[in-house]
Structure 1
Amino acid sequence: MSPKHQAARNTAGTPATVALTAAGIAFTPHAYEHDPAQTAFGLEAADALRIDPARVFKTLVVEADGRLVVGIVPVAGQLDLKALATVVGAKRASLADPAIAQRKTGYVVGGISPIGQKTRLTTVLDASASTHSTVFVSGGRRGFDIELAPADLAVVTDGILAPIAR
């Protein structure tokens, strides 16, 4: 597939872009060439799009006392599982099995968007997002990010803003 066709495919409608459009929320799509050998998807996006990694957020699916929740944190940091558990009223939390995360969200690992998931999960957005006018999250596939205002991200995901990154 030529780079031009690849870029066109990467900006085609995803459940995330469809959900944002339906909600009337402004966003900017950003496609980039994904390296299949890359596993640090968020850092790859920051590098490819030439933006500060503090503005690029990763979406992590977590099991908290038997239920799935979503944590959204800067790609340069880590999710504080204990802090997330506290926010959602759980005793403990751990990263969910990738196969379960994929099945529940409808997205593949490395392309899990917090927006437009197949099963709506409780979502917590790290408070650091509010220090930026816009942030970047996965648009629903590897090589495709969406830029939007953090307040709009919280609205479209029914997200809770809390300090969950370290």
Structure 2
Amino acid sequence: MAKRADASAGTPATAALARAGIAFSTHAYEHDPRAAAYGLEAAEKLGLDPARVFKTLLASVDGELAVAIVPVALQLDLKALAHALGAKRAEMADPALAARKTGYVVGGISPIGQKTALPTVLDESAILHETIYVSGGRRGLDLGIAPDDLLAVTGGRYAAIARSRASSG
């Protein structure tokens, strides 16, 4: 059963999940504006394993925006994302463009309920977990959701798109 989000937690993401009848849980925390990494901050403040907390990134893939969802402790492998989408090239999207196209602020971009539906790829490591946590649509709010449900509501797919921070380049 979907947990009813209270009015203060209402975002386009929670509204989209409620409309779709998808079960989710809300997890609010006090966001520190000085935090260097929003996703790692969420994992720490919510007491969650960083492997279960995923960040939402926007990339320009052959000139078109796409959503990549990877664990907060890892990095997006842009070549792998391009390959997953049958493209030649991917680069990180301009943060201002990402905010404008999704309707969310950077650091609070949810993969759910975006203004424009975009191709979405979830790192395959998500299948190891019954529940993963993604941004709820504002800084200081994460949503717990089953990975398959996340893909159902976003029209996304699984692919190996994350890499460790140590293996750059």
TM class by shorter chain equals over 0.9
Residue among 10, 19, 22 paired with 1:22: 19
One-letter amino acid matched to 1:46: A
Name the CA shift for 1:10/1:44 in 2 (closer, same or farther; >3 Å).
Answer: farther
How many angstroms does 1:9 deviate by? 8.4
One-letter amino acid matched to 2:78: L
Q: Distance in 1 between the 2:162 and 2:8 partners?
A: 29
Q: Distance in 1 between the 2:87 and 2:106 partners?
A: 24
Residue in structure 2 matched with residue 65 of structure 1 by the alignment: 62
TM-score (norm 1): 0.93
| Aligned partner of residue 9 in structure 2, secondary structure | coil
Report Cα offsets for 1:43-70 as digits up to 9, x if no partner.
Answer: 0000000010000000000001110000
TM-score (norm 2): 0.92
Name the CA shift for 1:165/1:49 in 2 (closer, same or farther; >3 Å).
Answer: same
How many angstroms does 1:100 deviate by? 0.3
Q: Distance in 2 between the 1:162 and 1:11 partners?
A: 34
Q: Distance in 2 between the 1:159 and 1:12 partners?
A: 24
Q: Distance in 2 between the 1:137 and 1:28 partners?
A: 11
Residue in structure 2 matched with residue 76 of structure 1 by the alignment: 73
Residue among 87, 104, 107 paired with 1:107: 104
Residue in structure 2 matched with residue 50 of structure 1 by the alignment: 47
Name the CA shift for 1:119/1:161 in 2 (closer, same or farther; >3 Å).
Answer: same
Residue in structure 2 matched with residue 126 of structure 1 by the alignment: 123
Residue in structure 1 matched with residue 146 of structure 2 by the alignment: 149
One-letter amino acid matched to 1:51: L
Provide runs of 4+ in structure 1 moved above 3 Å: 8-11
Q: Distance in 2 between the 1:46 and 1:10 partners?
A: 23
One-letter amino acid matched to 2:80: A
Report Cα offsets for 1:111-150 as digits up to 9, x if no partner.
Answer: 0000000011000000000000000000000000000101
Once superposed, what is the RMSD of the aligned Cα atoms?
1.3
In the alignment, structure 1 segments of 5+ residues that lack a partner are: 1-7
Asked whether the equivalents of residues 110 and 141 of structure 1 are also in contact (C-alpha less than 8 Å), the reply is: yes
Residue in structure 2 matched with residue 5 of structure 1 by the alignment: none
Asked whether the equivalents of residues 133 and 149 of structure 1 are also in contact (C-alpha less than 8 Å), the reply is: yes
